[in-house]
Amino acid sequence: MLQKRSLSGKHLIAGSWVGASTTFENMPVEGEADSFAAGTPDLVNQAVEAAEEAFWPFSATSRGERANFLRTIADEIDARGDAITAMGMKETGLPEARLVGERGRTVGQLRLFADHIEKGDYLDRRRDGALPDRQPLPRPDLRLMQVPTGPVAVFGASNFPLAFSVAGGDTASALAAGCPVVVKGHSAHPGTGELVAQAIDAAIQATKMHPGVFSLIQGGNRSVGEALVQHPLIRAVGFTGSLGGGRALFNLCAARPDPIPFFGELGSVNPMFVLPHAIANRADQIGAGWAASLTMGAGQFCTNPGIAVVLDGADASAFVAATRKALEPLTAQTMLTDGMAEAYTSGRTIIATADGVKEVLSNSCQGRQATADLYEVSGDDWLANHALSEEVFGPLGLVVRSKDADQMLTIARSLQGQLTCTLHLDDADAELGQSLMPILTRKAGRLLANGYPTGVEVSDTMVHGGPYPASTNFGATSVGTLSIRRWLRPICYQNMPDALLPQDVKS
């Protein structure tokens, strides 16, 4: 068992573990709670000033040095793997296999980013050589390269205590880019966050990086997050969380005297369009697959496919019956926090009591335990009620019965921005699929065929983002090597002597 003495209960600020006069406790599924120092705006200021001091030497490190740093962080996380898993299970209720897998994803992306920056392609280096004899005007020597933008603020996510939190994708990509990071840890899993921060601290010492390159601030009230995004030395923000919280921070970033980019991944219902021939031939298979995806991790995935759009009729009824059959034997799952369980119950009530919505399967929830819920509604009623298109964070599915193909297209056009949209289709569905593709391309960052969006590959080609409200910057991704690009800006060097150029852009 993980011993409480493994935790300091303090913040990590520029290599020092710092306490505070105010404390808070985590909310374990079982066992005793642990106490942690609560963050303050003053602690934020200390961390950010240290990050600014670290930026000068860290941004000047070689790609090889930063790659070694990332790999060392991964090694240090793996060395603490059992302790991290045990604490994660205690704080979140997630099963051991899920947390072990998530740790694998976390260290895997650190190592992937290390490999990626060593290649140098992410720098997008370009050169237009001088043309001194060109008429009517000569052309100077021009070189372009991406450079790190400065200290980055990262907000840990509640539903991914490892892959989207302290050393998750935002932190890993910012460090890969050459930007120091200040993390505002999520209060749902501060113990897990501290153990990961211990790993980063050990990697900083082992690679002799400036200690200000990473800090972790835990807990505190809203003023702590506000102080972080409004600090004049912070140059960009990464966030994964609720639409309301993310939009509030986005507005603060935009209202600064010097506005900065806010890369927020906020919410999505990830609709599936099940086309006529596919549902006629594979209703049972698609229904069972949807049920499994819908309930994975108690539905607490940002890519959870909450809506299935079908053409009304007997095949639609067979699909609904197959989904219900797959959901019925599933037992309750523990949600990440009491607040999430309450929000899920509230969201389910909104869906269940809306005009035209029919209950297919529903169970009561107690405490942090959640069971799957399934409802259906006509296309007309869905289009008439915007609330039915909003995310319910948990294992709830809504089948939208479209009266014809034209209404299916209308439903697609009415969607807000999504992380993903999915088409289930057979060869005979190609014509309708071709009609949907231009619409869905404008709606989402990732389009799937005959699959399920839960499970996001960390790779060079992944896009995890989309038009608002899926994210606040449709040109970016928070997963994959392209995520590094968020923390860089292009700079052009004109007629610059080699002696003054960065090594990566020299001849």
Rg (CA), the chain: 24
Q: What are phi and psi of 103, to 5 degrees?
A: -65, -40
Which residues have a Cβ under 8 Å from the Cβ of 343 and sit 6 or more positions away?
A: 393, 394
Asked if 295 contacts 330 with a C-beta cutoff of 8 angstroms, the reply is yes
Does the annotation count 391 as an active-site position?
Answer: no
Asked if 487 contacts 177 with a C-beta cutoff of 8 angstroms, the reply is yes
* Tokens, residue 289: 């697959």
HEC letters along 407-432: HHHHHHHHCCCEEEEEEECCHHHHHH
Asked if 393 contacts 344 with a C-beta cutoff of 8 angstroms, the reply is yes
Does the annotation count 253 as an active-site position?
Answer: no
* Tokens, residue 142: 């021009």
Active-site entry in 265, 365, 376, 391: 265
Active-site entry in 253, 302, 365, 421: 302
Which residues have a Cβ under 8 Å from the Cβ of 309 and sit 6 or more positions away?
A: 271, 272, 273, 274, 379, 400, 402, 408, 411, 412
DSSP 4-71: GGG----EEETTEEE--S-EEE---SSS---EEEPP-HHHHHHHHHHHHHHHHHHHTS-HHHHHHHHH
CA 171, CA 174: separation in Å to the nearest integer? Answer: 5
Cα angle at 165 between 164 and 170, to 5 degrees?
Answer: 65
CA 54, CA 75: separation in Å to the nearest integer? Answer: 23
Specify the residue for token string 């992410």: 122
The catalytic residues are 265, 302
